[in-house]
Amino acid sequence: MEDGRVVAAAPRGARLLPCPTGDIAPGAVCAHTHLYSGLAPYGMPKPVPPPANFLEILRKVWWRLDRALDAESLRASARDAVARALLAGTTTLVDHQESPALIEGSLSILAEACGELGVRAVLCYGATERNFGLEEARRGLAECRRLPESELVRRLVGLHASFTVSDETLREAGRLARELGTGVHVHVAEDGADVEDARRRGSAGPLERMLALEALPRGSILAHGVHLSADEVALASGLGLWFVQNPRSNEGNRVGYPAALRHAKRVALGTDGWEADMAVEEQALFRLAAAAGDDRAQGRLAGGHALAAELFGAARDPLAPGSLGDLVVREGGRVCHVVVGGRQVVEGGRLVAADASAITDASRREAARLWQRMAGIP
């Protein structure tokens, strides 16, 4: 590798990473996640009574967690999630951030955690009006604009979802994405509630609403698409949009199986905040696809590589000259070494830049504080 990319021949004086019995593979891409939920496995209290539907899951769990986040808990959450991703061989995270009490500077906290541990990251703040109205959305979009890009960081413009923003915010998000030369990252038709909301506003659905308001430039990323029709998916595909399927999340939230994604040209795999072990996510995908009679679920991980190559301007075939210098060496199936952009970030199954047990200790501490604050949020 040279300058973070794969080259055809080793440059003179290049450091060698011996792996005589290892399997070398490209690092995996998690194409939709939420680093802010990284503390959830540390005993997040379950709401009583349990949520009855998708909107209640958002209102009772995630929209209370995100309001309780402060800088320390967000940092601990991100470091924990990034560490687990790298140790599982995931080298690129496409994140969607929301922290209504900490909008300004939240993406810098994420970028810093990603940079420290060495993962490749695509970041955005998901603008929404659901807590404080239009001004909240303006601040979310401004946070996207503020984030500086670097060799390992790209920015997108984020929107939470059609059903939590006005026409004005959708138009503004599209304008900003075109100005920055990037795409929009948004949840689309994850649940039927998003579709019903768009219909109440006079559109055929959230996709049509966002297209009419020019909010989805080419290269935009649509997470979920569970409740889109085959025609809608084909329409989005023809406009150069990406889809991201999140099997474990869709199953857990009981929103359904995204059957129409079989009509998309470009689909990647995401975890939607679950631990970014893409082999585990892919197993869930194959299990759910088989149950749904979907024979087109192969190639989602390859879709993630193509997405990362597009976002970072690299050759499309992983490990080919000109591709991203992101690879994983496995010994007997276990992740041994991980290299991102030519930098070794996992060596012998351990993080190079930090101590995983110290990260876990900080997570436990911050999680306890976070659950306390969350309990005080209605």
**Which residue, 194 or 272, has its beta carbon nearer to Zn ion?**
272
The verdict on 143 binding Zn ion (CB under 5 A) reads no
Closest separation in Å from C-beta 224 to Zn ion: 7
Nearer to Zn ion, 131 or 360 (CB): 131
172 or 272: whose CB is closer to Zn ion?
Answer: 272
- Least separation in angstroms between residue 183's CB and Zn ion is 16
* Listed ranges 36-44, 115-123, 208-216, 265-273: which one lies at the site for Zn ion (CB under 5 A): 265-273
* Element spanning 209, H or E: helix 206-212
Pattern 266-285, Zn ion, x by CB under 5 A? ------x-------------
Q: Which is nearer to Zn ion, 123 or 338 (CB)?
A: 123
Closest approach of Zn ion to the CB of residue 80, in Å: 18
Footprint of Zn ion on 243-262 (CB under 5 A):
none
Residue 3 token pair: 């300058």
How far apart are CB 223 and Zn ion at their closest, in Å? Answer: 5
Instruction: Quote the CA–CA distance of 233 and 66 in Å, as a whole number.
Output: 30
Instruction: Report d(CA 179, CA 73) in Å as an integer.
Output: 32
Q: Looking at beta carbons, which residue is closest to Zn ion?
A: 272
Q: Which amino acid is at 11?
A: P
Return the residue matching tokens 């939240």: 106
For residue 29, list its beta bridge partners. 92
Q: Which residue's CB is nearer to Zn ion, number 160 or number 263?
A: 160
Q: Binding to Zn ion by residue 191, rule CB under 5 A?
A: no
Shortest Cβ 200–Zn ion spacing (Å): 23
Give me the sign of the Cα torsion angle 92, 98, 104, 105: negative
The rounded radius of gyration (Å) of the Cα atoms in the chain is 20
Interface residues for Zn ion in 7-66 (CB under 5 A)?
A: none
Contact flag: residue 172 with Zn ion (CB under 5 A): no
Question: Coil, helix or strand for 120?
Answer: strand
Total residues at interface with Zn ion (CB under 5 A): 1
For the record, the structure tokens of 232 come out as 């809608």
* Shorter beta-carbon distance to Zn ion: residue 197 or 272: 272
List beta partners, residue 93: 30, 121
Stretch that binds Zn ion, among 159-167, 264-272, 333-341, 361-369 (CB under 5 A): 264-272
Query: CA torsion 196→199→201→206, rounded to 10°?
Result: 80
Taking the least distance from each CB to Zn ion, the nearer of 243 and 314 is 243
Q: Is the dihedral of CA 67, 269, 213, 215 positive or negative?
A: positive
- Between CA 101 and CA 123 the distance in angstroms is 18
- From the CB of 282, what's the least distance to Zn ion, in Å? 18
Question: Is 136 one of the binding residues for Zn ion (CB under 5 A)?
Answer: no
| Distance of closest approach, residue 174 Cβ to Zn ion, in angstroms | 20
> Rounded to an integer, what distance in angstroms lies between the CA atom of residue 134 and that of residue 8?
51
Contacts 24+ apart (CB under 8 A), 12-17: 17/329, 17/337, 17/339, 17/344
Q: Which is nearer to Zn ion, 272 or 281 (CB)?
A: 272
Per CB under 5 A, does 197 bind Zn ion? no
For 8, 154, 181, 287, 375, the CA distances from 157, given in Å and listed in that order, are 35, 10, 10, 33, 31
Residue position matching structure tokens 């996510």: 281
- In the complex, minimum distance from the CB of residue 202 to Zn ion, in angstroms, rounded to a whole number: 26
Find the shortest distance in angstroms from Cβ 97 to Zn ion: 11
Nearer to Zn ion, 159 or 351 (CB): 159
Q: What phi, psi does 294 have (nearest 5°)? A: -95, 110
Q: Is 95 in the site for Zn ion (CB under 5 A)?
A: no
Q: State which residue, 94 or 260, has the beta carbon closest to Zn ion.
A: 94
Q: How far is the CB of 187 from Zn ion (least distance, A)?
A: 5
DSSP characters for 139-160? HHHHHHHHPPPBTTEEE-EEEE
Which chain residues interact with Zn ion by CB under 5 A?
Answer: 272
